Amino acid sequence: MEQSVFHQFVTPDGGIVMIIVFVLLLVFEIVSIWKAPAWTRKIGNISLLTGFLFLGICSYTAMDETYISGEFHYFQYLESATKGAFSVLSGSVIFLVSRIVNIIRTPRI
């Protein structure tokens, strides 16, 4: 069963919601660089934790679908692993952006 990329990320286990949350976190990060530099580190931490939260949600959904159907389907776990890896990667990128901005903004001795 082959699915499109759009269908893969618009599912009940957080596909489109996950993308919207990470885009909002990235916008908040970019705005905080100029308006509130003290918040850049906190927004980076929140984005990394959000990535792991969505990874847990995707894993739970795959296990729940297996429990309900009573059959093991490899593609369900592969699909949830893809979404989970995407969420952790997105959170890590925003986290790294916040750390790089923090390093650049610190005064040098």
Does residue 70 come out as left (phi exceeding 0), alpha (psi in the -120 to 50 range) or beta? left
Residue spans of the domains in the chain: they are 14-105
CA pair distance 50, 13, nearest whole angstrom: 14
8 Cβ contact partners less than 8 Å away, ≥ 6 residues apart: 15, 79, 82, 83
**Tens digits of per-residue pLDDT, 12-36?**
455 677 888 889 999 999 999 888 8
**Tens digits of per-residue pLDDT, 42-79?**
999 999 999 998 888 888 877 877 777 777 777 777 87
User: Token digits for 59?
Assistant: 């894993």
